[in-house]
Structure formats: structure tokens, C-alpha cells
Chain A
Amino acid sequence: MTTRRLVITGAGSGLGRALAIGFAGDGYDVFGAGRGEAALHETAALCLPGRFHAQPLDVSDDAATTAWIAAIEADHGPIDVVICAAAVYPRAHFLDQPTAQWDEVIRINVSGVANVCRAVLPGMLARYRGRIIVIGSLADMHPIAGASAYSVSKGAVHVLTRAIASEIDRTHFPDVMIGEYLPPATLTGMNGFGLPPEYHYPVVKALACGDALTYSGASYLPQGRMYLDPSPKSVLRNLRRRFLARRRG
């Protein structure tokens, strides 16, 4: 079985758009969501024609997200990979930030990921196969001044990834995995400097479709290195699991 259908949230700009262009160019069916309809159409225009399916959507809206995922699975078939790239990054001093804005950051960056995972995981578990890649950040370890809400949200996503992984039985569902990718500063709408977003495509592709995602729940840096090296105990456990893994179909 090969990966055919991908879902990318936040596909209207930045890293999400770059990944959509990359995957569409490699012949995958990409289903992209974003809040701005015009930006999504721009992405579609940059992609290989016919490969990108745009859907205006706010991932913090649980009902709409669930309906969208259900519609994709009904109309096109099972979703193999989900990439959660939707996030907002407003700059504001903690004391000056309006409460509504703080809440919005948490809603989109954290609850948005949870909503998407909740919608796709039952299907993935039923098929015993599927991957979720969450785009995280190192902002939680070194909080950026003027972006407290963003830093908090990325720390939460970190935990959310591991928490979801811990609830998926590794023996019974060895091929349902969730992982996090931690890109360094990237030249997108969020940031005026850094790596070009296309730089991340091969790395994310290796995580999403290749062998790079070795541990469910782990976080990966661009070099394929794992961030927060797992404890020796979990290394042993994973080695044993790989060694003894039941034969998969």
C-alpha cells in the first residue's frame, strides 16, 4: 500500500503551502484547508493542476472539521497522512494582548490540532494505518518575547502529540503513528527571515511517507534528529518492538 491522500491544514500560506506544492508535485492528492479562500486558490494555482483540493475551513471549528474529513473519506477514500500546519502567530506584549486574541491562538494552534486528530484517528485505527505529522516549534523551550500565547500553544502541541501517541496501543496498531516536526525559523508570513519553506518538504515527506518517523509521539528536527532524546529505557523498548514487531500487511 502506498500513500495517496494527504490532508494539510493551513495550506493557504507559509509552510503549509510549500508542503502542498511539494506533495502535489509528487503526485499525491492533497486536500488543503485554510481560513482564507483567496489564499487557498493561490496555492491551488501553484500546485500541479488537479492535485490540490481546496476547502475554506477554520480548524478551531470542530463540527466543520469533522464534516470536512468525513466528506473527503466518503468522496475520495481513506486519508493516509494528515499534516497539521495551521497556526497563528500574533505578536503582542503579554500585558497588552487582548484576551480574545490569546484565546484565538490557543483555539487554533492547540484545539485545532486536537479537532483534526479526533476526526481522522478513528478511521486510521479502523484501517490499522495512518500518520499524523504536527508542525511544532521550539518556541516553548525558548519562549519568544512578545509571543507568549504562541509559545504556550506550541508547548501544548508537544504534549498533545505524545499524549495521543500514548493512547494508541503500539503492539496492536504499529502502523498508526503520530509525530511532530520542529522547523527552525522559516521565511513565511510569520517571520521575515530564516530558511525558505521549500527546504522542509523533503524532511516532512520522509516523516509522512518514509521511514524517518521511527517513534510514535516523538519530535523531529530538520536533520532527522530527534528532539528530546528518548530515555534509554524507551530506546530499548522501541528496539525490541521493531525487532519483534508482528508481521505487517
Chain B
Amino acid sequence: MLGFAWDRYAPDALADCDREWDVAIVGAGMGGGFAGLRLAQAGKSVLFLERGEAPFTAAGGRIGRLQRLLSDQHRIDAMRRRGRWDKRVRFHINGRHWIQPVPVGSGPGGSSAIYSAAVERYMRVDFTGEHGAGGQQGEMSNTWPIAYDDFLPYYRAVEAMLRPCGSPDPCDPDDDCVLLPPPPLSDRDVWLSDRFAAAGLTPYRVHVAVENRAGCTQCLGELCARLCKSDGASRGVIPALVNHGAKIALRCEVDRLELDGDRVVGVHARHAGNDVLVRAKTVILAAGAYISPMVLLRSTSAGHPRGAGNDRDLVGRGLMFHADQIFAVWAPRGQSTNGPVKTFASKQLYVAGGQRLGSVQALSGQVDVVHIQEYIRNMVPVTTQPVLNLAIRVVCRLVALVAAQIFAGAVLFTTKTEDYAFAENRMVPDAQSPGGVAVHYRFTDELATRARAIRVTVRQRLRAAGVRVLFLSRLRTVNFGHAAGTCRMAATPEAGVVDPAGRVWSIENLYVADASVLPTSSGMNPSLTLAACALRTADAILECERQMQPDRAQHRGPAADRVIVTDDVRAV
């Protein structure tokens, strides 16, 4: 994406109130990108409103050396340069309160442009509502309002666009993903894979949406300079811009939606220092699970005094994270480590002993000082005291140096345990900082039990198979990058914010297409599923329009099972 001429695809005049777009999409990430591409392919005029900046362009302010040591602005600028969301979130978890940045992307492609391109399907069991937290107080339904078989064509359609490489998962009989051959494992990873198999964990190669172009430097975890990684930008937004006439307004922060009765007529945004009202026939919110509910809550009107879609006080509720536990394993020294990262995963313990324990997956993060330091730094709350910040940095650095010695030869894996939705786990506007997000979350004992179960099982089995294992995360650790469910999808307006097509109940032309619609978190990475949801939402918008205008029925948009979309942009 380095050098892509984003400016060429900027709308001529955003503040032009006479222009009414067919579709305005808030957020150009994985969900927005694929919904936008599908709609643009069908001939709609599509405008992406993206808060972030063009990749590799964000410039920090000039800052002195001493100032850089003491201030935190330097760190925020660095995050922006690396495509990260620079806002901090206020957390209230199990009685503790703190503020910290979350590992979420900002800019075209959103998180998908940065993180490791694992595009894994949910399993059939995720759709059926089995298991669950046992009907605890405030527990929300964990059943999908869509049947797995009806959803499968959308998985296939997104996979056809992303073209992942990997190997089929023997634990998932429904896995018919068309996979490219993955790059060969290093000798060390072959050994580890054999050990996992000996431990009865049935490893398979993670479905990674990376093209592995000649000279691929395995930049998983960072912005890709070469369009080699399949993400919301490279396979969604950019084809929509280049091939289908869509437009993108960068550095455009959406404040709220303008409602007229039960319709959205426009989007209030701040762009280039001006407040603008973008008018659109249809609006899709795809700003991520942190921001989409905030936009809905801010969009109050006479008919919807508690915010758009919030008549039943459900927006922001049902927040789910994954309980991620990182562990290190060591292979005997002397084996070649020349091979890809994000190597293999296992779903053997996905459902075990009548409960959902989750999956095990290789991490792509490299065990070096910089990454360890960033990891530790993100665990420590940020203060407003410059000297204290400096002290924290120094301590983190020292700890990271020591840790890097210990983990020099280690390989990192993570377990992902499904989180169930509870009404009191929610996101609300942060009262103390305007525009900010506050998270109220309770890590239930039930989740801790399952997290402990997978930890103990994995540790025991791998040790029995002769692998040295060390769990690094505390038990009650969640992945703030995998927030989901804050505008949950449900079959009835009493149970969720959006209908099975992604349309906000009670608002005619407002849709949500990001991780916030997911009714379950599953034990897998969310990006493929939310992209499939977004594609389904786009099809629903086209279908809805056909019904409104039956005379134009011959102009049929693509249907997921008929059209395999390979919209390629090679030369940018």
C-alpha cells in the first residue's frame, strides 16, 4: 500500500450538500471495505469516511529530544505512523480502572491492514447456541439468527477474494476452503508440529491471507508495503476505488448521524477542520466494535432520544473479547528456523468435555526486545506524569531486555477461549473525555474456568509430548483487539440492535457491518466472519432496493453463491 495515491480518490467536495451518495460507509476496514466493494461493483456510488490516515504517511509533530523522552505524544505519533488507533480506552474491569491504548488499526484496512491475516471460519457449533454460560444473570443468546449453511456461501465468497494459503482443518468437517499451498515450515516448526500431533492436538496450517510474493518479508503485525497481504484495504477498499469509482475521505471523523423519523438522511463528520454533513440514501456503520456503538449512541433525535437503534438500551451491550493466553514453547536448539511465521493452529480442544475451551494458534509476533517492550508497555497504565512515564519506559526496557534473553529461542502461541455475551459487559461514552470510549467488563468465573481448563490441558499434553511450555499471560487476560458484539445481530428487536441482514432495527436505511454485529465471539479470529457478514449486508441492501423498484429487477447485483469475485489491483 506504500505509494498508493489515496488523494486521487478523494471526493471532490465533501461539504457539497447537493450531492447525495447512494451509500456512505463509516470506516474503511475489513467490514466497510468488503461491503463497499460489493455495492460499488453493483454500480452504487460509494463514499468511505475514514478517520485514519493513508498508510505510511502520518507525520508526527516536531519534537525535541528531551521532550520526546518525557512526553507521551511521541508514542502516539509513532502509533499513528504504524497504522494504529491513537485513542485510549478507559477500562473498568472486575473493579479495576485504567486507561490504555488498544491493539486496533486505524486507516484504510483498519486492523486487518496490520494484524496477521488469519482468516478462519467459525465452526458449525458456533451458530447453534449449544453450551453457553449456563443461563447466568444477564446472559445474552449465543445463537446466530442465520443458519450455518446459509452463511457458508458468504464464507466461500470472501475466501475467494482473500485467497488464503494453509491446509484444511481436520477438526472441522465443514472446512472446504480453497487454499493455496502455504510456504514450507522451518525444521524447527516441523518438529513442533510433530510434537503437537503427538500431543493429540491435530495441528493444521493456519489459513493466512498472504500472497507470499517473491521476497515476502513476513510483515505480519505491521502494515504491508506491497499489497501482498489480503486485507480490507488491498482486497476491498482499493479495488472499489480503482475499478468501481468509489471515493474515500481520509482524516474524516464521524460524529453522529442525522435522523429524520426512522430514516438516516446524513452523516455529521469533521473533515479538514470543517463540520460537514454528508448525505446518503443508505449509511453503513463499519467503524469497529469500539466506535460504531458510540456513533449510534450520539445520534439522538426526537423519535430516538436514547440514540439510533437504542430504543431498548441494547447498543454497546453484549461486549465480548477473547480470553487469550500467550504461551512460549521451546524446540531443541540447532534446528533451522528459516520459515514462515503464523504457522499452525489446532481446534482439537474447541469443544471438549461439554464446554468450549477454544483454539490454539501460533502467534506471528517476533520475540525481540522491541516487541516485548511494546507488549509490556501496553499492559502498564499510562499516566499523565511525564517523569513517571519516563521511569515506566526505562523499567519496561530493562524488563524487555531480560525477557528477550530468556525467550531468545522460544516460539509463541496463544489459546483463544470464547467469551459469552452479558448485558452488563458494555461500551459507553467516556464521561471524562469527550469522544472517548469506556469499557465496563466483568471477567466471569465461568470464563476463567474454561480458560484454566485449556491452559492445563495444553500444558499437560505438550509436556507429555516432550515440549517445554511456559504460559506467559495471566489467567484473566482478554484480547482488546478482538472486541465484538456491541451492536449484536438478533432475530428480534428485543434481543439485538441489528436484524439478521445487518440493518438496525427501527431505522430503515442504517446498517452495521463490522465486528460489533457478531452475536458470538467463537474461539477464532473474527475478520473472515465479519467480512462475510458485511458482504451479506451489502447483498441485503441491493435486494431491498430491487424490491422497492421492481421495474429495475433485471439489474441484478452479484449473489454470493453465483459470483466469485476476484477484483484485483496489481499496479498501484
Residues of A within 8 A of B (CB): 121-123, 125-129, 167-169, 171-173, 175, 240, 244, 246-249
Contact = CB atoms under 8 A, between A and B. Distances in A.
B337 A244 contact: no
Contact of B409 (A127, A129, A247): A247
Contact of A172 (B218, B335, B336): B218
Contacts of B218: 169, 172
B334 A168 contact: no
A249 B366 contact: no
B217 A249 contact: no
A129 B186 CA distance: 13
Contacts of B215: 121-122, 125-126
B405 interface: yes
A247 B191 CA distance: 15
Contacts of A128: 336, 338
Given A240-B369, A247-B336, 5 more contacts: A126-B215, A127-B338, A172-B366, A248-B336, A249-B338
A244 B366 contact: no
B409 A246 contact: yes
B17 interface: no
A172 B338 CA distance: 8
Contacts, number: 51
Contacts of A168: 217
Given A171-B366, A172-B366, A247 B337 contact: yes
Contacts of A129: 338
B408 A249 contact: no
Interface residues of B, number: 22
* A-side interface mostly: loop
B368 interface: yes
Contacts of A167: 217
A247 B334 contact: yes
Contacts of B570: none
Contacts of B366: 171-172
Given A128-B338, A171-B366, A172-B366, A247 B214 contact: no
A244 B405 contact: yes
Interface in B326-346: 333-338, 341
Given A122-B214, A126-B214, A167-B217, A246 B337 contact: yes
B368 A249 contact: no
A171 B364 CA distance: 13
Contacts of A127: 338
B16 interface: no
B146 interface: no
B187 A249 contact: yes
A28 to B, nearest CB: 23
B369 A247 contact: no
Interface in B341-377: 341, 366, 368-369
B152 interface: no
B337 A249 contact: yes
22 contacts: A122-B214, A122-B215, A123-B214, A126-B215, A127-B338, A129-B338, A169-B218, A169-B219, A172-B217, A240-B404, A244-B404, A244-B405, A244-B408, A246-B337, A246-B408, A247-B336, A247-B337, A247-B409, A248-B338, A249-B186, A249-B336, A249-B337
Q: For chain B, what secondary structure do more than half of its interface residues adopt (helix, strand, loop), or is it mixed?
A: loop
B187 A247 contact: no
Interface in B171-213: 186-187
Nearest to A124: B215
A77 to B, nearest CB: 17
A195 B187 CA distance: 46
A63 to B, nearest CB: 16
A173 B217 contact: yes
B470 interface: no
B147 interface: no
A127 B218 CA distance: 14
Interface string B147-166: 00000000000000000000
Contacts of B405: 244
Contacts of B219: 169
B495 interface: no
Contacts of A244: 368, 404-405, 408
Contacts of B408: 244, 246
A172 B333 CA distance: 17
Interface string B484-498: 000000000000000
Interface in B373-429: 404-405, 408-409
A123 B405 CA distance: 31
Contacts of B338: 127-129, 175, 248-249
Interface in B28-48: none
B564 interface: no
B518 to A, nearest CB: 33
A167 B216 CA distance: 11
Give the one of B333, B335, B338 with max A CB within 10 A. B338
Given A248-B336, A248-B337, A249-B337, A171 B368 contact: yes
A248 B336 CA distance: 5
A19 to B, nearest CB: 26
Interface string B309-333: 0000000000000000000000001
B342 to A, nearest CB: 12
B214 A249 contact: no
A163 to B, nearest CB: 13
Contacts of A171: 366, 368
Contacts of B336: 128, 247-249
Nearest to B337: A246
A101 B336 CA distance: 48
A125 B368 contact: no
A125 B219 CA distance: 13
A170 to B, nearest CB: 9
A122 B211 CA distance: 14
A123 B408 CA distance: 27
Contacts of A172: 217-218, 341, 366
A249 B339 CA distance: 11
Closest 3 CB pairs of A and B: A249-B336, A122-B214, A128-B338
Nearest to A249: B336
Contacts of B409: 246-247
A171 B186 CA distance: 15
A214 B280 CA distance: 59
Nearest to A247: B333
Contacts of B217: 125, 167-169, 172-173
A247 B216 contact: no
Interface in B207-248: 214-219
